[in-house]
Amino acid sequence: MKFKNLGRSGLSVSQLCLGTMNFGPETDEATSHAIMDAALGHEINFFDTANRYGGVDNYGRTEEIIGRWFAQGGGRREKVVLATKLFGPMDPWPNNRGVSALNIRRACDASLKRLQTDYIDLYQMHHIDRSTPWEEIWQAMEVLVAQGKILYVGSSNFGGWHIAQAQEAAKARHFVGLVSEQSIYNLVTRDIEREVIPAALHYGLGVIPWSPLHGGLLGGILKKQDSKRRLEGRSKEFFEAKRPQIERYEAFCDSIGHAPADVALGWLLAQPAVTAPIIGPRTQDQLTNSLKALEVNLTSENLATLDEIFPGYKTAPEDYAW
C-alpha cells in the first residue's frame, strides 16, 4: 500500500479509503468487522463513515458497528485514520441538523459515543450549510479541536466558491480550516474539474472521490451477469445514452489488460489533488479486488484515450469562455 498526506496536512493516509456506507444496510456486522480487519491487513488505514449511515430509521447504526469493532482492541483504533460526517437530520427536531454550533457539538458527542472513541481524526461537513455563518462554524470547530475531540476538518459536496469562503474565513481566525474535500468524481462525472479541483489545489485540500465507479457503471457492467440488477437504481435513459462510451471503455480496458473497475480507480489516482478514492465493498472479495487498482499505471497515451472516451472539463472560466 502507498500512502499520501491528506492535502497540506501531515496526516498520512492510504491511497484507497474504506467506505462503510454498506455496513448495516447491505453487510451484516460480522462481515463488516471481517472487512475492516482485512482492510488493516492490506494496510488500508483510512476509513470513512457518517452519522446518518445505517439505513432509514437506523441512523447511526454504521458508526455503532465500527465502534464495536474498535472495542475489540488489538490496536484497531490506533491504526485507523477515522473520518465521519455531520449535516443531515438525525431526527425531526430542527436543531439536530446542519452545522450550527449547537449541532456541531451535539453531533460530535453522539458520534464519539457510537464509535466508542474519544477523538475523530477527520470531521467532515457532509454538505454546505448556507444558513450558518462561517464565523459560527469555525468557532465551534475550534472548540472541538481544543477539547481534543477532532483533529482535522473536511468538507463534502462543496463548490469551489464554498471552499474559498471557508478558507478565507479560517485564515482570518488563524485556523487551519479545511484539509480535504469529498466529492463525487469519476470518469463519467467530472464537474469538479471546473472549480473544485482548482480550489483544492490552491488551498491545499486533498480530494476524496466518492462513487468512483459511478454506481457500477464503470465496473465492467456490460460483461457482468448481474448487470440488470445493477441498473435497477439507475435511469435507463442515462445508461443507454452512455452505452457507446461504456462499450469503448470496456474494449479499451481489455486492450491494456486491466479490469474496468481497476482502470476507473487507477485513473482517479492519477488526477491532480486526489488523495484516496472511496471504495465501498460489501464483501471481502470486493475489498481484495479493489487492491488491483494500485497496480494500474496509466501512460499519458492511456489517459488521453480515456479523455477521448469520457471528455472532461477545463478549469473555469476557460471551460465555457474564450
Catalytic residues: 53
Instruction: Report the C-alpha gap between 282 and 298 in whole angstroms.
Output: 27
Residues in the chain: 322
By the 10 Å C-beta count (0-12 exposed, 13-18 middle, 19+ buried), 54 is classed as buried
Q: What is d(CA 194, CA 75) in angstroms, rounded to the nearest whole number?
A: 41
Rounded distance, CA 90 to CA 84, Å? 14
State the DSSP code for 191.
Answer: G
- DSSP structural state of residue 314: P
- CA atoms lying within 13 Å on the CB side of residue 71: 11
Cα separation, 158 vs 99, whole angstroms:
13
DSSP string of 28-70, one letter each residue: -HHHHHHHHHHHHHTT--EEE--TTTT-TT-TTHHHHHHHHHH
